Amino acid sequence: MSQQRMHKEHENFEISETQTTRVKVLRQDRIDMEPGQFFLHLGKMQFEVVNISAFGIAVTIDEAQLPKGDIPKEFLGAKLTHKDLELQDLHLREVRRLTKPSGWTEFAYEVIGEPVRIEFIHGLEAASQVIRKQKEEQTN
């Protein structure tokens, strides 16, 4: 495909896109995740979710757990889970990779197509807080 500007017509307006560049968007609607609660499964790899928004997910993995060779930049059918409960299949594209001195690597993915169902995330977090409070009250 050429690097020419593409024009897509939608209803009564036109959207101009550049094939080779991605518009960077600042996302301020991220939800920081509690450790050990949410995971992203990409093929045989399991990443812990660090933060999430409707349009993106940041995950982390121990460098020792990364497979040898290249990791694909795009995943179709990535599974978002809460502990062992599957929440949603996602189409993701890598936008950032950062290896930290601690030996962990952080990946940021943009969501392509259907956004993350944030209402599920909020519901699970609320339910977890209620359960946590109940456990605290029982031990006191």
pLDDT in tens, 31-71: 888 888 899 998 888 999 999 999 999 999 888 888 777 78
CATH of the domain at 78: 2.40.10.430
Q: Tens of pLDDT along 1-22?
A: 444 444 444 455 555 555 555 5
* 14, part of any domain: no
Domain count, the chain: 1
The span from the CA of 138 to the CA of 80, in Å, is 32
pLDDT at 84: 83
* 82, part of any domain: yes
User: In Å, how far from its chain's centre is CA 46?
Assistant: 12
pLDDT at 1: 46
Please give the share of the chain, as a percent, with pLDDT higher than 90. Answer: 41
DSSP at 133: H
When pLDDT is cut at 50, 70 and 90, the band that residue 116 belongs to is very high
Q: Which stretch, 16-20, 62-66, 87-91, 122-126, has highest mean pLDDT?
A: 87-91
Q: Does 94 have pLDDT greater than 70? A: yes
* 18, part of any domain: no
* 77, part of any domain: yes
Range of the domain at 38: 30-139
* 39, part of any domain: yes
* 99, part of any domain: yes
108 φ/ψ sector (left φ>0, alpha ψ -120 to 50, else beta): beta
Q: Which of 6, 4, 50 is nearest to 30 (CA)?
A: 50
pLDDT averaged over every residue in the chain: 82
* 19, part of any domain: no
pLDDT at 57: 94
* 9, part of any domain: no
DSSP assignment of 1-38 equals --SSEEEEEETTEEEEEESS----------EEPPTTTE
Give the residue-averaged pLDDT of 93-114: 92
